[in-house]
Copies of this chain bind each other. A is one copy, B any other.
Amino acid sequence: MGDSGQGTGTTPESKRKDVRRNQQTLLDAAAAVFLTSGVDAPVRDIAAEAGVGTGTIYRHFPTRADLVIAVYRHQVEACAEAGPALLAAGPTPHAALGRWLDLFVDFLVTKHGLAAALQNDTSGFEALHAHFLDRLLPVCTQLLDAAVAGGEISDDLDAYQLMRGIGNLCIGADSDPRYDARPLVALLVAGLRRPH
């Protein structure tokens, strides 16, 4: 609600041809730049890559965070949809949760600077944080609840704290060869089981 039908919303279906073309050009350019320079790449770089003025970016995506959201929307969606599937497939809810978090970590770790941007309270990335939460928190909650219901883990930790912690652990996992988030995540997930 309140979404006027463009930018971060569902496909705009605009009247003008150049608008639709630029929307896609922009997404492709942003994806390419994010891949090489990270999510924190300057807006001007993305505009240059797309062969477009900076104003055009802001007409399509009200803020840089909205552009990031749009670029990764499909992968976030895929991650969200994997949750129930894993729950149905896995031997136990805890195993499913572990596998789902692996997906999440893989996603974050392979996108340069995304994990850091997610928790960045400065410079208007709150929308990014909010979008990830809106889409993924319910999935995490479902997995966690199932594990709790099955008695595999206790309910000490809520889904928000878990996701936030996992996300935090992924910060800098790119760009620092000495650091690998995965063992720590594994430790955390393992520790979730049978507390005490």
A positions within 8 Å CB-CB of B: 40, 116, 119-122, 156-157, 160-161, 164-165, 168-172, 175-176, 178-181, 183-184, 187-188, 190-192, 195
Contacts and interface: CB of A to CB of B under 8 A. Distances in A.
A121 B66 CA distance: 23
- What are the nearest 3 A-B pairs in CB distance? A191-B191, A187-B191, A165-B184
A187 B184 contact: no
Nearest to A174: B121
Contacts of A157: 183-184, 187
A168 B179 CA distance: 11
Given A172-B164, A178-B160, A192 B184 contact: no
Given A184-B188, A187-B188, A172 B168 contact: yes
A63 to B, nearest CB: 18
A184 B166 CA distance: 10
Given A178-B160, A188-B191, A121 B172 contact: yes
Contact of A169 (B116, B121, B168, B179): B168
Nearest to A166: B184
A13 to B, nearest CB: 37
Contacts of A161: 178-180, 183-184
Nearest to A168: B168
Contacts of A188: 184, 187-188, 191
Contacts of A120: 116
A61 to B, nearest CB: 21
A27 to B, nearest CB: 24
Contact of A179 (B164, B171, B191): B164
